[in-house]
Amino acid sequence: VSCLAFSPDGLRLAAARDHRLGKRIQIWDATAYSPVNKFDIPNAGGRTEHSKPYISYSPDGSRIAVVADETLSVWDVLTGTRIWSSQTGGRSERPPAFLPDGSHIIHLSTFGVLIRWDAATGKVVRRAEISEPHRELLSIAYSPDCTRIAWGLYDWPVNRTVCVWDEELGELIAPPMRGHTDEVQGIAFSPDGKELATVAAESDGTIRIWD
C-alpha cells in the first residue's frame, strides 16, 4: 500500500497499491472494516511502471483523484468509473489536492511542474514550472486552502532550502528559507495555514516551525 486516504466524513478509507499490470484502489467501510468497492488503473501505455499511486478524496467524498505514472485521473467512488485523466508533467510521490470547494485540483510534480485543473472537466486552468530543471523537490505540502505550496528543495550540496509558493499570484512568497543542516524530508502546514513545520534528515535531526 502506497497511500491511504479517509473520506471527509471518516466513513470510508481508500487504499492505493500496485496490482499486477496496473494500480488498484480499494474502498473500505471504516466502521465495519469491510470492502465496499475497488477499481483498477492500468499502467500508462500498458507498460510496467515503477510509479506508486497516490490518492486524495474530493471534499464531498464522491470522487478520488489518483496520481500514478505521470498521469492524474479522477474517479467516481460509487461506480468505479474514470471521469477524466490528464498528464502531470512529471513523476510524483505526493497526492494531489482538491480546493476546499472541490472546484479545482492542484498537483506539483517532483521536478517542479505545477498544474491546476478544473475538477469537473479536467481542463488545465494554470501551469507553471516553479523549480529549475533537474532540481528535485524532496517534500511537498499544500496549505489547507490550497493557496500556498511549500517544498524542500534538493539543491546539492546545500540540500536544506525551504520555499513557499503563492498559487494565485504565481510567485514565491518570500526568499528561500534556510536553517536546516541536512535534507528537508518532511513538511506540513498548520491547520490554519499560518505556520509551517519542517523536519530534516538524521544528521540534522531537528523539527523547525516557520511563521
The yes-or-no verdict on residue 45 having pLDDT over 60 is no
With a cut of 60, say whether residue 168 has pLDDT above it: yes
Domain boundaries, the chain: 1-129, 135-211
User: What is the pTM for the complete model shown?
Assistant: 0.87
Q: Which three cell numbers stand for residue 97?
A: 489536492
Average pLDDT, the chain: 88
Cβ-contact 211, 197 below 8 angstroms: no
Q: Which residue has the cell 478544473?
A: 118
86 sits in which H/E element = strand 82-87
Dist CA 119 CA 114 (whole Å) = 15
Give the right CATH number for 1-129 from 2.130.10.10, 3.20.20.70, 3.40.190.10, 3.40.50.1100. Answer: 2.130.10.10
Judged against a pLDDT cut of 80, whether residue 143 lies above it is answered with: yes
pLDDT tens for 60-109 read: 999 999 999 899 999 999 999 999 999 998 888 889 999 999 999 999 99
